[in-house]
Amino acid sequence: MALKSTVFKADLSVADMDRHHYADYSLTLARHPSETDERMMVRLLAFALNADERLAFCKGLSDDDEPDLWRKDYTEAIEQWIEVGLPDEKRIKKGLSRSAQVLVMAYGGRAAEIWWSQLASKVERQEKLTVLFIPEAQSRALAELADRTMRLSCTIQDGHVLVGCDKGTVNIEPVKWLYKE
């Protein structure tokens, strides 16, 4: 018998001063049986950093044809393809061929650094690609905030992110490994 996803509910309040985007979101996240709290919370962070009424969680780990999140325009064309973790070059190229922008939110400490050292030269000329790295201590602290029902506030200013809830506050400083203005 296959294990089912665990459902998490998050009320997320986003104050993104960098993009002048202020909104509240009621989100449902399905955590795949093989997904950790850390990965799920980095997905939630990816949502907060790119918050938009058309941004949606996808099947991600359950489907090779979909990213973790995407934003589509009103014609269903994919505007933004977001991967969380350490996707291979083939998966990144799939996103680049199907969307206007691709964002990879990498995490995982030394493993992520090795992944990037092997991948960087193959993708660094891609104009549509952004790669952000969440340092291990920060992604693990973010995982500590995970709960089946969460009420989170996320403040973004000058590239810094402050995520808070009744369990505490985490300061996140994503590192720009590949970023095109």
Span 137-149, pLDDT tens digits: 999 999 999 999 9
Would 39 be classed as within a structural domain? yes
Would 91 be classed as within a structural domain? yes
Give the chain's domain count. Answer: 1
The arrangement of strands across the sheet holding 6-16 comes to 21-31, 6-16, 149-157, 160-165, 168-172
Categorize the per-residue pLDDT at 5 as very low, low, confident or very high, splitting at 50, 70 and 90.
confident
Question: Hey, what are 107's tokens?
Answer: 């995490």
Give the rounded percent of residues in the chain with a pLDDT score beyond 90: 87
Would 179 be classed as within a structural domain? no
Q: DSSP secondary structure string, the chain? A: -PPPPEEEEEEEEEEETTTTEEEEEEEEEEE-TT--HHHHHHHHHHHHHT--TTEEE--GGG-TTS-SEEEE-TTS-EEEEEEES---HHHHHHHHHHEEEEEEEEE-THHHHHHHHHHHHHHTT-TTEEEEEE-HHHHHHHHTT--SEEEEEEEEETTEEEEEETTEEEEE--EEEE---
Would 62 be classed as within a structural domain? yes
Q: Residue 32's pLDDT is what?
A: 87
Q: Residue 36's pLDDT is what?
A: 95
> 161 vs 46, 110, 126, 170, CA distance in Å?
11, 22, 26, 8
Span 103-162, pLDDT tens digits: 999 999 999 999 999 999 999 999 999 999 999 999 999 999 999 999 999 999 999 999
Would 1 be classed as within a structural domain? no
Residue 95's closest CA among 116, 54, 126?
Answer: 126
Q: Residue 153's pLDDT is what?
A: 98
**Average predicted confidence (pLDDT) for the chain:** 94
Amino acid at 154: C
- Cβ atoms of 114 and 13 within 8 Å: the answer is no
Would 181 be classed as within a structural domain? no
Query: Residue 23 sits in which domain range?
Result: 6-173
Would 57 be classed as within a structural domain? yes
Is pLDDT at 59 greater than 80 in this prediction? no
Q: What is the CATH number of the domain that holds 166?
A: 3.10.640.10
Q: What is the pTM of this model?
A: 0.94
Average pLDDT in the 38-43 region?
A: 97
Would 180 be classed as within a structural domain? no
